[in-house]
């Protein structure tokens, strides 16, 4: 289905995840974050960059993988993206919901 955000029309699934990563840009990510109640900081973008890099290189995403990344620890991850950090971070990053998320 289509959704208009940051003055662009994007394709999303029924949970709100982008279905076409090529439609993502930082403005769209910022607006999705606002919808999730998150005000993006440099640290947030560092995590988003890491997640997108993992996606582009076809590495599966998990909270354990984030922990081992060295980008941040688990407490920081939950603090930056409260209420489902991997779900929220991947949605903001414009990638599909990881299979490890219920």
Run of H or E including 15: none
Catalytic residue status for 10: no
What is the spatial distance between Cα 21 and Cα 31, in angstroms, rounded to a whole number?
Answer: 15
3-state class (DSSP) for residue 10: strand
The single residue of 46, 54, 101, 102 carrying the catalytic annotation is 101
The set of residues, in sequence order, having a beta carbon less than 8 Å from that of 51 and lying 6+ positions away, is 61, 89, 90, 93, 95
What is the spatial distance between Cα 7 and Cα 92, in angstroms, rounded to a whole number?
Answer: 16
Provide the annotated active-site residues. Answer: 101
């Amino acid at each position: 289905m289509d959704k208009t955000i940051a003055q662009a029309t994007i394709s999303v699934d029924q949970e709100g995840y982008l279905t076409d990563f090529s439609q993502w840009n930082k403005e769209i990510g910022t607006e999705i974050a606002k919808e999730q109640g998150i005000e993006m900081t440099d640290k947030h973008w560092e995590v988003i960059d890491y997640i997108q890099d993992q996606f582009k290189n076809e590495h599966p995403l998990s909270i354990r993988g984030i922990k081992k990344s060295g980008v941040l620890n688990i407490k920081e991850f939950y603090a930056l993206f409260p209420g489902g950090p991997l779900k929220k971070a991947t949605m903001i990053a414009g990638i599909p919901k990881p299979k490890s998320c219920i």
